[in-house]
Structure 1
Amino acid sequence: MYFEPGQTPPDTITAVILAGSRPGGDPMAKAAGVALKALVRVGGETMLSRVARTLSSHPRIGRLLVLAQDTDLLKQHEDSGWMAADPRIAFVTSGSGISSSIAAVLAGGNYPVLVTTADNALLTSAMIDSFITGTSGADVAVAMVERRVLLASYPQSRRTWLKFRGGWWSGANLFWFANNKVKPLLALWQSVEQDRKKGMKIVGAFGPLLLIGAVLRLLTIYQAVAMAGRRFGLSARIVAMPQAEACIDVDKPGDLELAEAILRERLPV
């Protein structure tokens, strides 16, 4: 499936991998002795290469963009040679923040766009299928895993939970942008992205009624996200992922150990 740069074939999706670094460096990168977190090895392969392989091999992905501040460092890594040689994959220098970088990608009009992160090292084709199926008809969607789903398989895993009526939820690092309606939402994201680990502060940015409903657990997460979307005149949706591994990103040493163990179990006997 080849095409000219900047053009996405009909019925395919543009995928974006966020592979940037935090100001001051990332503890995981420092512990692994590498320059960027995306270059930390999981299962013998850098996280970036692993996620890129999964996305580029999926039949619905027509174009793959890797966003980072230092794209040369990523391109020149020994695990990235296959990526640099693939005409469907481009390395794009990111802006000062996640939301502004995504907004720049969306300005090209290559909708729909699926966004994930380089530390989403356990991403599988089945997860991509589940997410894409769940986004049908939505302008914007976010993948989440409910606490009971995760703990049933990995009770030792520690996540940041958003607590709503009917369940606690953790993000799965998959985002869906279907059309131009999402641009005002990205502007709001830019104002709160530094607080992305502070769930209720983000909820509060959508207005006091939504915050009260969430704090008092009067709303399910589905109701809350739909309400937030209506504020911007768009259809917003949570996609509940059936795969527990979908919310296990490699963000700390314990995550790395767990991810390595899960990948060993996936290997054919």
Structure 2
Amino acid sequence: MQYDAVILAGGVNSSELKKIAPYDNEALIIIGKYPMIYYVYNALRQSSQVRNIVISGPTEALRNIFAREEKLFFVEGGKNAVESLACAVKLLREKGTTERLLVLPTDIPFITTTAIDDFANQCQNYEADFFYAITSREVNELKFPGVMRTYVKLKDGVFTGGNLFILRSEIIDQVLEKASQIVERRKNPLAIASLFGFGLMWRYLTRRLSIAAAEKRFFKVLGIKGKAIISPYAEVGVDVDKPSDLEIAQKYLLDLTL
């Protein structure tokens, strides 16, 4: 199966990160020899499962990074990740998009084609409207010792949210408002749990919440079937949004390009 992919590149560089990387947009931060978005695009382009790629963000600056690539399109991003995704979906619909979209942010320069393909292959084993990658703390800390992430303790283990998504394009209009609320609370597990009801939050607090129970509640609240995919690749669960992350990325990716 092939997917059209969307890179969400509209993120404004945070004040903390901007102190050591003076760029207005996260996608433009230089890591090693290339802008951060280049690593994400390069991993996608090498996947045989990816057809068109849309980059949603500051189009003028982003176009300057890439040569005239085939099947690469640009669209201005929105105020947040959800609006940026909606802009990309609109463009892809005009071009005749595939049924399912692969979505990822620009701040995951560690991502590899192997990790992307593994996620896509796992998704093909299930029937769902929305797939969301997660990685375990053990996997992340083994690959990137000392990396700081927000973890959730579940019955199934200790996990952090990944940065790969696959969804049916038709569900975008249905869940934009609720998705915006989730994005705003993505760094606060309790705030996210509260969106889905006290029962879910209580099970989370008492460490009795399972992945299956969360998926079931997700369907009841949003009306769409979600499926968490446990990725064995730490590159999926580690992003760059603070100075310590950037320092790790500079060292790790420079070593790879030498």
Do both proteins adopt the same fold according to a TM-score greater than 0.5, normalized to the shorter chain?
yes
Q: Which residue of 1 aligns with 2:70?
A: 87
Report whether the alignment pairs 1:144 with 2:134. yes
Q: Which residue of 2 aligns with 1:205?
A: 195
- TM superposition shift of 1:32: 1.8
- TM superposition shift of 1:18: 1.0
Q: Is the 8 A contact 1:161 1:170 kept in 2?
A: yes
Aligned runs of 1:76-115 on 2, under 5 Å? Answer: 76=64, 80-82=65-67, 85-107=68-90, 108=93, 110=97, 111-115=99-103
Q: Which residue of 2 aligns with 1:47?
A: 36
Q: Is the 8 A contact 1:26 1:36 kept in 2?
A: no
Q: Which residue of 2 aligns with 1:33?
A: 22
Q: Is the 8 A contact 1:159 1:170 kept in 2?
A: yes
Q: Is the 8 A contact 1:182 1:234 kept in 2?
A: no
Q: Is the 8 A contact 1:214 1:224 kept in 2?
A: no
Report whether the alignment pairs 1:59 with 2:42. no
Q: Provide the identity percentage.
A: 27
Q: What secondary structure sits across from 2:79 in the alignment?
A: coil
- TM superposition shift of 1:233: 3.3
Please tell me the residue identity of whatever aligns with 1:131: F
- TM superposition shift of 1:96: 2.2
Distance 1:101 1:140 in 2: 18
C-alpha RMSD of matched pairs (Å): 2.2
Distance 1:171 1:261 in 2: 24
Report whether the alignment pairs 1:154 with 2:154. no
Q: What secondary structure sits across from 1:87 in the alignment?
A: coil
Distance 2:9 2:169 in 1: 23
Please tell me the residue identity of whatever aligns with 1:66: I
- TM superposition shift of 1:197: 1.1
Please tell me the residue identity of whatever aligns with 2:27: A
Please tell me the residue identity of whatever aligns with 1:204: S
Distance 1:18 1:124 in 2: 17
Distance 2:227 2:248 in 1: 29
- TM superposition shift of 1:267: 5.0
Distance 1:237 1:38 in 2: 28
Question: Tell me, which stretches of 5 or more residues in structure 1 are unaligned?
Answer: 1-10
- TM superposition shift of 1:26: 4.4
Distance 2:72 2:19 in 1: 27
Aligned runs of 1:1-269 on 2, under 5 Å? Answer: 11-22=1-12, 25-68=14-57, 70-76=58-64, 80-82=65-67, 85-107=68-90, 108=93, 110=97, 111-136=99-124, 137-181=127-171, 183-267=173-257
Distance 2:14 2:172 in 1: 30
- TM superposition shift of 1:25: 4.9
- TM superposition shift of 1:149: 1.5
Distance 1:36 1:89 in 2: 20
- TM superposition shift of 1:264: 4.5
Please tell me the residue identity of whatever aligns with 1:99: V
Q: What secondary structure sits across from 1:155 in the alignment?
A: coil
- TM superposition shift of 1:186: 3.1
Q: Is the 8 A contact 2:112 2:235 kept in 1?
A: no
Distance 1:27 1:67 in 2: 23
State how many pairs are aligned. Answer: 251
Change (3 A) 1:29 1:17: farther
Q: Which moves more between the two structures, 124-133 or 245-254?
A: 245-254
Q: Is the 8 A contact 2:16 2:243 kept in 1?
A: no
Q: Is the 8 A contact 1:26 1:37 kept in 2?
A: no
Q: Is the 8 A contact 2:10 2:78 kept in 1?
A: no
- Bigger RCO of structures 1 and 2 (CA < 8 A, at least 6 apart): 2
Change (3 A) 1:221 1:53: same
Change (3 A) 1:26 1:235: same
Distance 1:104 1:35 in 2: 21
The runs of at least 4 consecutive aligned structure 1 residues that moved more than 4 Å come to: none
